Amino acid sequence: MEKKLLQNLILNIPWSIFGRKAMTSSAIVDALRVLKTGRIVDLTHLVHPGIQRFGAFPAMTSETRYTVAESGFHVEQVSFVTQYGTHIDAPEHFVEGRRTLEAIELDELMLPLFVLHFEDKVAADPEFIVHADDVKAWEAEHGPIAPESFVAFSSGWHRRMSGGDMNNRDAEGVAHCPGWGLDALEYLFETRGVTAVGHETLDTDGSADVRAKGFLYGEKYVLEHNHYQIEVMANLDQVPSTGAVIFVGVPKFDRLPGFPVRAWAVVPAEA
């Protein structure tokens, strides 16, 4: 019974449970109770100085400023780039004048989650690129992707974070990674009306496209259309294709182009 309630709740987020007409104390408390019957999947990598990161970005540093023994409390002074670990890219990350971190609305950070499980395709071809036809084939099996949702590309790449190579470089130092194709992103945002996308890789675009085109045109497309994305996600292979919701915890720093996040999914307990 609880599983059915959770599935119904997920299918109606954000249109009913979190819609203004349903904003009663009992509805909100009931929504939380039902969500807590689900299984929670952490979509976030542990952040530390040795985490793999984009290009020449420096490693995180931490300096202990106060200790419990000496001051009665523990405080660290930490330094890292905004695009570090599992992180959100605000539109201004690539396009001047677009939204920065604090301008992303809270209702954009809790969405129905659709996961494109293409792990097998990536295993067969590490440079697999998701195209619009791949998304349409997925929809033929699982149903149409709903508007105002979050779509994640599950590649299995997150397993490389510990003990692997997120860039998958060859002997010449050339990266070979999967990614989104521009046509797939155009289809999701323009035809399906989704709110955001995410992926496990360090970049939006596949390595083959970057070599051919010389730039991250897929990432620029997402951000210049004032959408956000989540990069370097983890554990998407533990989330079903449909029937989940995603929550993204984002701090409210002023005018930043992104920041590390804590993202998680809630799925039916038996899924």
- DSSP secondary-structure letter at 102? G
What's the pLDDT at 56? 85
**pTM summary value:** 0.91
What's the pLDDT at 14? 47
What's the pLDDT at 142? 98
State the average pLDDT for the chain.
Answer: 93
Token duo for residue 71: 């001051």
> SS in 3 state form for 13-45?
CCCCCCCHHHCCHHHHHHHHHHHCCCEEEECCC
User: Using an 8 Å Cβ cutoff, are 101 and 253 in contact?
Assistant: yes
Binning pLDDT at 50, 70 and 90, where does residue 130 land?
very high
Residue 6 pLDDT > 90: no
Q: How far apart are CA 54 and CA 202, in angstroms?
A: 6
Could you give the percent of the chain with pLDDT greater than 70?
91
Residue 73 three-state SS: coil
- Mean pLDDT for 237-249 is 98
Binning pLDDT at 50, 70 and 90, where does residue 8 land?
low
Residue 205 pLDDT > 50: yes
Which residues, in sequence order, are bridge partners of residue 77?
63
What's the pLDDT at 55? 86
